Amino acid sequence: MSEYRLFSAMFIKILLTVVLFGSVHSDRTDFAYNGFTNADLILGDLATVTHNGLLRLTNYTDTQKGRAFYKAPLHFKNSSTSNSTLSFSTTFISAIVPENPNFHGHGLVFVISPSFQFPGSFPAQFFGVFNSSNSGDPTNHIFAVEHDTGKDSGYRDVDANHIGIDINGLVSISSAPAAYFADGLWNNFSLSSGSPVQTWIEYNGVDMLLTVTVAPVKVPKPQRPLLSAAVDLASVFLDPMYVGFSSATSQLVDCHYILGWSYKMNGQAQALDLSSLPALPRITPKPKTKVLTIGLPIITGFLTLAAVSAAMFIVRRKIKYSEVVEDWEREYGPHRFRYKDLFTATKGFREKELLGIGGFGRVYRGILPSSKIEVAVKKVSHDSKQGMKEFVAEIVSLGRMRHRNLVQLLGYCRRKGELLLVYDYLPNGSLDKYLFDDKSTLNWNQRFNILKGVASGLLYLHEEWEQIVLHRDVKASNVLLDRNLNGKLGDFGLARLYDHGAGPRTTHIVGTFGYMAPELIQTRKVTTSSDVFAFGVFMLEVAAGKRPVHASTVSGEELVLTEWVFRCWKRGSILESSDPKLGGDYIKDEMEMVLKLGLLCSHPVAEARPRMREVLQILDGDAPSTELVSWNILERSEHYESLTSCYNFSMDFGFSQTTSVVESLLSGGR
């Protein structure tokens, strides 16, 4: 009987070994493509396989997406222990070829995802995988390795040429500038040079260690990886998952190619055969042949004849869609929109598409005919003979900015006496309607988040971008809200730029009454401190729910918001100035801090105002706020009372008549 039990135990042990071995063996999946002719792939959007076997994810079409995935999902969970993740290894060779070598758009990502489709995803910096709302959502269950050729400070990108490991969003858990290790040194190289780049991604499911190695295709695999991160993918991966690639273009376009791809579960991916890879398209133009040289005069004559015969038709169309295009504008390429496209997008600038009318123009909603992207088009009057070249150059520079709390300026168009600025469209419109419209309102938490967001955007403009940007028109009507009611500072039509370390230039006094710093009348030089002043008024506007100049509910007289809140503070009842629509439903310490910080930022003496970095630190709770803010307001209260009285004077006699009064007060020192 004992021998029978011993035999049974041995049989069961052998059977379990066979089952476990079979389960592990079944998880071994591998494939290798040296070119993609007849490859088993799922292609989406712009992705296609070219005649010579290149996998092309995108072409030179703006604001589009492209993706390609292996035909079937793969099992990443060990069938014997569902809580552990199998090891995997992959290598691929990619190339990013910009349309214009001087400008490049965004890169591509290797993706492991529960699905090969990403509904609601955005192009550009979102790679066709995420959008502004779901980036960072743990329910995405997405792992990606990005080859990013754009710098987005809102997502903490290290530079505009880096590799990053992403889990469920665009903020990388580990990233570094593109480089490979050889001869004891790190050697940097460009991801968007048009030359092939090889990437090795390896994950050890036992040690939970992920490594990423990159190098130009002719360089052997470096011994040291660029990125190494301890990450447990068991909570990220579902079972099964799809593996593949995704990329997208913006107004600046690139072609994204995959030349070869090898993949293996529980083992080392097969090395790619470099000699069998398909060739990339020729980047430089082919030399002219003798046939072309001889035939060119004939072709030119034919084209000239055709142009003359069609001249009347072209002239008639140009009258309708005529634009102002000078030679110096040719270099701006994707930043310049055709008037015809904007005319079509806004349905001829119909009144039904009108979003609003401001002091500097009318704003229309539109849908671009080629990309179907929603935009907002602002029409501004201009004099094309006065500084237009410098102004447009600044507009194009502003179009390169990337921050989650700034409305993206996509480009411009000029036609006759009009300048048209094209922005991202935000469906919830401007903040002022939520503050001053009785039909809708925002709770305190939403308002506080908007203030921190706009402060972050202004800090980026003042200190973190490649140049200093002076917005010059910070106010509630220029803060737009996205689908999640996050605040984005927009309308850069009055913005001015200058280099770090240089001083601002003398300029005309522009802006909105109630938000303009008093020193502008004396110095005529806008500075970052002028923007801080306007932001201070904006903070009071959000907290108090009142415009910078408003009528008293008791006497009906005109009150200046900064002076009214200051008086409430002096008599020890600053919370009385909070918005009655909140019904007292707010965090008292936060409300008091915002009101006091608003007073300090809108201080009439420029030197008393903090920098935006200090403002954001106080709003984030990273700096002691109440004592510092209260002391600075109290220290210069005499100047505050004297200077704020100028606003009452200006309402009675006109803004220009206050110049001598303010200048005399400022010249008295502090």
For 593-604, what is each residue's pLDDT tens digit? 999 999 999 998
- Is residue 508 over pLDDT 70? no
What is the distance between the alpha carbons of residues 341 and 321, in angstroms, rounded to a whole number? Answer: 9
What is the distance between the alpha carbons of residues 75 and 88, in angstroms, rounded to a whole number? Answer: 11
> Which pair of structure tokens corresponds to residue 294?
């001889």
Q: Which of 473, 482, 491, 531 is catalytic?
A: 473
**Inter-residue contact 599 to 569 (CB < 8 Å):** yes
What pLDDT, on the 0 to 100 scale, is given for residue 544? 94
What pLDDT, on the 0 to 100 scale, is given for residue 15? 46
The length of the chain, given as a count of residues:
670
Higher pLDDT, 406 or 291: 406
- Is residue 636 over pLDDT 50? no
- Is residue 70 over pLDDT 90? yes
What pLDDT, on the 0 to 100 scale, is given for residue 14? 45
- Is residue 314 over pLDDT 70? no
What pLDDT, on the 0 to 100 scale, is given for residue 383? 57
Tell me which residue has tokens 């992959």. Answer: 90
Distance of CA 444 to the CA centre of its chain: 26
What pLDDT, on the 0 to 100 scale, is given for residue 549? 86
Strand extents, DSSP E, 76-219: 77-78, 81-85, 88-98, 108-113, 143-148, 162-167, 174-177, 179-182, 185-188, 197-204, 209-216
Q: What is the phi-psi region of residue 556: left when phi exceeds 0, alpha when psi lies from -120 to 50, beta otherwise?
A: left
- Is residue 529 over pLDDT 90? yes
**Those residues with Cβ within 8 angstroms of residue 208's Cβ, 6 or more apart along the chain or in another chain:** 85, 230, 231, 232, 233
Q: What is the phi-psi region of residue 586: left when phi exceeds 0, alpha when psi lies from -120 to 50, beta otherwise?
A: beta
- Using 50, 70 and 90 to split pLDDT, how confident is the model at 621? confident
Beta bridge partners of 103: 100
Stretch among 315-319, 470-474, 578-582 having the lowest mean pLDDT? 315-319
Mean pLDDT of 362-369: 91
**Those residues with Cβ within 8 angstroms of residue 553's Cβ, 6 or more apart along the chain or in another chain:** none
162: DSSP letter: E
Among 241, 250, 239, 236, CA closest to 128? 250
| φ/ψ of residue 309, rounded to 5 | -65, -25
- Using 50, 70 and 90 to split pLDDT, how confident is the model at 69? very high
Highest-scoring range by mean pLDDT, 120-134, 448-462, 544-558: 448-462
What pLDDT, on the 0 to 100 scale, is given for residue 655? 34
- pLDDT tens digit string along 8-40? 555 444 444 443 333 333 345 899 999 999 898
Whether 473 is catalytic is yes
Average pLDDT taken over every residue of the chain: 81
What pLDDT, on the 0 to 100 scale, is given for residue 657? 30
- Is residue 315 over pLDDT 70? no
> Which pair of structure tokens corresponds to residue 531?
């923007």
- Is residue 569 over pLDDT 70? yes
- Percentage above 90 pLDDT, the chain: 46
Find the helix or strand (DSSP H, E) in which 41 lies: strand 41-45
Cβ atoms within 10 A of the Cβ of 585, count?
9
- Using 50, 70 and 90 to split pLDDT, how confident is the model at 524? confident
What is the distance between the alpha carbons of residues 670 and 47, in angstroms, rounded to a whole number? Answer: 65
Q: What Rg do the C-alpha atoms of the chain give, in angstroms?
A: 30
What pLDDT, on the 0 to 100 scale, is given for residue 617? 92
In this prediction the pTM is: 0.53
- pLDDT tens digit string along 145-184? 999 998 888 888 999 899 999 999 999 999 999 999 998 8
- pLDDT tens digit string along 235-278? 899 989 999 999 999 888 889 999 999 999 999 999 999 999 99
